[in-house]
Amino acid sequence: MLATVDKKQPSRGEMVERFFTRFATSTSFLAGQPAAFVLAVAFIAIWILTGPVFGWSDSWQLVVNTATTIITFLMVFVIQNAQNRDAAALQAKLDEVIRSLVDARNEFIGIEHLSDTQIEEIRSQLEIEAAALGNGHGSSKAMERLLSRR
């Protein structure tokens, strides 16, 4: 007799999160395509061309103002979700690189949770260390190498 494996059914919250993740990813991808820009320009052109038909009325202006406000408001959340996910994935990958390198300092894992001031202090200290080693951005050798790549 075969043993059955109980698959845990996703909760309603997990299903909503999965749906929104797929929706946000797809929407962000589509909004970044040239066709989306062309569509937006076409929408505005049609709106402008209909101005004389509607006598340049307040209602005519209200239609485009309302539509663009609603679309902008919703897109803020969709794009922010996609950016947050991308940033978290990138940070996880960087943490794995730090963890796997023998000479890397594992203390850097998770520094994205520090305050801006603390991160700036770390960054400044790293620049000082790099300059002391002769390979920081303050190093003329480093600048020469960088400029010679052009």
Residue with tokens 């002769």: 134
Answer yes or no: pTM beyond 0.85. Answer: no
Q: Tell me the H-state helices in the chain.
A: 12-31, 34-49, 58-100, 116-133, 140-148
User: Would you state the pLDDT for residue 148?
Assistant: 78
The percent of residues in the chain predicted with pLDDT above 70, rounded, is 88
**Is the pLDDT score of 35 beyond 80?**
yes
> 108: helix, coil or strand?
helix
Burial of 79 (0-12, 13-18, 19+ CB in 10 A): middle
- For residue 24, the tally of other CB atoms under 10 A from its CB is 20
| pLDDT tens digits, one per residue of 94-131 | 999 999 998 888 998 999 899 999 999 999 998 888 88
What are the boundaries of each domain within the chain?
14-106, 114-150
